[in-house]
Amino acid sequence: MWKVPTFKLLSGHTIPLVGFGSYLIDGERQTKEVLDKALSAGYRLIDTAAMYGNEQDIGLALKELLPKHNLKREDVFITSKLYPSDHGDQAKNALAESLRKLQSGYIDLYLIHWPGVYGISSRSSENAKLRAASWASLVKAKKEGLVRDIGVSNYTVRHLKELLDNCCGVKPVVNQVEWHPGCHQADLKEFCEREGILLQAYMSLGGSGNKSLLGEPFVVKVAEKLGKQPAQVLLRWSVQQNVAVIPKSRSKEHMEANINLDFVIPDEDMVLLGRRKQEKFDWDPNSVK
């Protein structure tokens, strides 16, 4: 089994570059079955969010599965995220609620899920005020030991610069964004690298249906050349650029393939993949003031 590489965060803690995404996985039975397969396949990072509605199911599953797989809490990296309705001074309380549902003494990484606030116009200056208050609240939670590291998701360079100017002495360690050959911003990657912030990709395989990149000719061509699956090529394309990935799957075979990225994509094929027409498949944070 390929040993998943890790990245040393600004705090000194390490994070696996390949993790398991839990979006759309819910229900106590399904969550337990899926996480059992994921842990067996070698995943040691589980990504969730208050928005996903599965934190409690994940907490219950891990309570039973960790001993089964001879693992301790510290062997598994857990990420969760702030619901966009919980921005402001109450962010620490929202984190504490996620902690309670996960039945864990701490969360490894907690992200502000979205720079905007539900119920407030994306053009309102209140967004900036409330996300700043959220960050200050999460810094308090970090100092109290509720969370090891804090970061953001869907932040643009503009949002990051604003945060870094008033980060209460704690810089974000991760920025989780949509990232794949069809959506990758060089300026964002360069900024994060310069600041020591890890870029973590979601939607690494593109969207669903006709937005999926799995069947696109340029992806299939590289996969056939390397003797790999299209999903493996798309995931390796990110990891090879030191961008972390959190693919989701309910299939044991897909889970095992998605974490087995022990190969190298030649430079010319990396360039070919990156030439794909750029478009946003998911929500666009550029509109949030």
Instruction: Name the residues annotated as catalytic.
Output: 52
- Residue in 81, 75, 84 with CA at minimum distance from that of residue 99: 81
Q: What are the structure tokens assigned to 102, written together?
A: 């996960």
206: left (phi over 0), alpha (psi -120 to 50) or beta: left
Q: What crossing angle do the helices spanning 91-102 and 55-68 adopt, rounded to 10°?
A: 40
Q: For residue 118, give Cα distances in angstroms to 121, 160, 195, 270.
A: 8, 20, 29, 38
Residue 159 marked as a ligand binder:
no
Tokens describing residue 114: 């979205």
Distance CA 31, CA 236 (A): 26
> Rounded CA gap, 206 and 182, in Å?
7
Strand partners, 20: 46
Dihedral sign computed on CA atoms, order 139, 140, 144, 146: negative
Q: Which residues are annotated as a binding site?
A: 113
Q: Which residues are annotated as a binding site for substrate?
A: 113
